[in-house]
Structure 1
């Protein structure tokens, strides 16, 4: 879903190369440092995976700060400097997921130029990959990273990893609530849903052909509709029932069951202008029982649930793009 018009062929070609030409000018390998985040210099990053060794990964890119924040299971494990799109080629904001991974990707447009450790976000050219970092926005839309950091990040992302690009950086919030997945707080229902999670562990690296496809849900107040996407294909939709107030711009990543609270444990992030109490209340959004049953058959740790007040435009997605522009 996107609110942008289709890109011109010229823009698509420029975007597909992103920082490939800049890589030829001498990419920064990068340096792992122990510094306050605001003191990081171009090419420097922090990397502490031991803070949270397991769980779903989420990437937040702050355009204002020129920083990339990596969270795993709600805990920030890394921060890196980056370089995003320059004036006239601004990096789009919104919600993306990793569509393709290629450690040794090369541009098919610009003389086979290298784009190491690429995590593709759109099929018209936006990606995370290694590149030159001058200390300010300088790419054609991609998010350039230090080479060493991009290699580390490549090891923990998977197809479907959410990437939120926003002007500001917002910390994730833990939310434990039945909402959507569980129609109520009944103990028997909770036990049934927990039992369905068995065997649906969070793999370290999914592919489009895996037995457990990546599931994403998008709830749009504009269209009063919820769609379910597996990998990159829309497979089901149902009615959205909510309190009538704006949903806001939020992303939820399912961490798993929380038996103490008899609910599902979510990591909530916003891609809007500010966080609010509404993002912690999932019960305000629901659907009918028939569609709830379809959702329960497909959900798994690491699945993504997105709220938006924008319209759904699946027909305007470019090939397999999964994009919600803010």
Structure 2
């Protein structure tokens, strides 16, 4: 399958370096509290896994708020203060997959500095891990967390799980789509999607191999790309309702399949101010052509990521937009 004009720069920034020294969180900056996310102070975190015991987990990092939010099955179960990249070493924003986990990791860049409970997001140095929390952005690109929170988080994360790093003060919302995905389709087609998801869950339970499935839709190109890890496995065309209106930049993660109502539930995240409060409408405006739709249906699985953007999939100037989509060893 040709690359369809998407290069390693196509949705990317240059990758920042790893976090520097001062990586172990002090006791003063590591406090579990019974507070809501809005009232957390630096070094504090909450943890309420009982609110949603099972289901796909999505992590949202808000750079402006210096906060991390953890959602399971679309419900927020935890939140924590954090410290992201300082000036000149900003944490890249976008959609990432967890590539590696290591409870006792040490930095290969910064004097073998400890990076406890590390969840790697890029092979070039960006990760979630325990670290010093001064109350402002201070890392070399990583997301530093309270030590206690990082231990709890490491206990529920899995390889290929979605992590969204956002530069907007928006919170994820739940979107229920009446069709399968990318268009309004007959309810009898639900069986094909449901069967694909169940088959993947069965196979995943019997194998140690993982697969990060993502879909990227470009409104400008009227194109759709299906990704499996760092490789494009299918491309096709989409129709956009009201094409004269911008669609914005949105990220969706599939969290629930309801066999009773034959609906899919997505956790949505607007990645720009003009996208806020329009997530449901954006998803409904996109309709995939039949040939690519069948391939998408077969690739459906809980935890998969769908990105919709106004930008061209072959743009050479995406670095200016401060948006990165990573998976496997590559970035689209």
Q: Same fold (TM over 0.5)?
A: yes
State the match for 1:294 in structure 2: 295
State the match for 1:312 in structure 2: 313
Deviation at 1:237, TM superposition (A): 1.3
Contact conserved, 1:64 with 1:168, CA < 8 A, in 2? yes
Contact conserved, 1:200 with 1:300, CA < 8 A, in 2? yes
Within 1, Cα distance between the matches of 2:141 and 2:327? 19
Unaligned runs of 5+ residues in structure 1 are none
Structure 1 residues 39 and 206: alpha-carbon distance in aligned structure 2, compared to 1, 3 A threshold: farther
Secondary structure in 2 matching 1:23: coil
Secondary structure in 2 matching 1:198: helix
TM-score for the superposition, normalised by structure 2: 0.83
Contact conserved, 1:165 with 1:271, CA < 8 A, in 2? no
Deviation at 1:30, TM superposition (A): 1.7
Structure 1 residues 295 and 124: alpha-carbon distance in aligned structure 2, compared to 1, 3 A threshold: same
Contact conserved, 1:180 with 1:292, CA < 8 A, in 2? no
Structure 1 residues 208 and 220: alpha-carbon distance in aligned structure 2, compared to 1, 3 A threshold: farther
Contact conserved, 1:28 with 1:146, CA < 8 A, in 2? no
Deviation at 1:183, TM superposition (A): 5.3
State the match for 2:239 in structure 1: 241
State the match for 1:253 in structure 2: 253
Secondary structure in 2 matching 1:87: coil
Q: How does 1:1-326 map to 2 (within 5 A)?
A: 2-4=10-12, 6=14, 15-16=17-18, 18-19=19-20, 21-23=21-23, 30-179=30-179, 181=181, 184-201=184-201, 209-210=209-210, 213-243=211-241, 244=243, 245-273=245-273, 274-312=275-313, 320-321=328-329
Within 2, Cα distance between the matches of 1:235 and 1:221? 20
Secondary structure in 2 matching 1:194: helix
Within 1, Cα distance between the matches of 2:315 and 2:255? 27
Structure 1, residues 162-182: CA drift from partner, whole Å, max 9, x if none? 222223332322222245637
Secondary structure in 2 matching 1:112: coil
Contact conserved, 1:127 with 1:142, CA < 8 A, in 2? yes
Deviation at 1:277, TM superposition (A): 3.0
Deviation at 1:76, TM superposition (A): 0.6
Structure 1 residues 232 and 152: alpha-carbon distance in aligned structure 2, compared to 1, 3 A threshold: farther
Structure 1 residues 311 and 96: alpha-carbon distance in aligned structure 2, compared to 1, 3 A threshold: farther
Within 1, Cα distance between the matches of 2:116 and 2:261? 43
Deviation at 1:290, TM superposition (A): 1.2
Secondary structure in 2 matching 1:151: helix
Secondary structure in 1 matching 2:293: helix
TM-score for the superposition, normalised by structure 1: 0.84
Within 2, Cα distance between the matches of 1:318 and 1:185? 30
Within 2, Cα distance between the matches of 1:203 and 1:27? 42
Structure 1, residues 228-254: CA drift from partner, whole Å, max 9, x if none? 111232222111221213221111111
Contact conserved, 2:229 with 2:327, CA < 8 A, in 1? no
Unaligned runs of 5+ residues in structure 2 are 1-8, 320-324
Deviation at 1:281, TM superposition (A): 4.8
State the match for 2:3 in structure 1: none
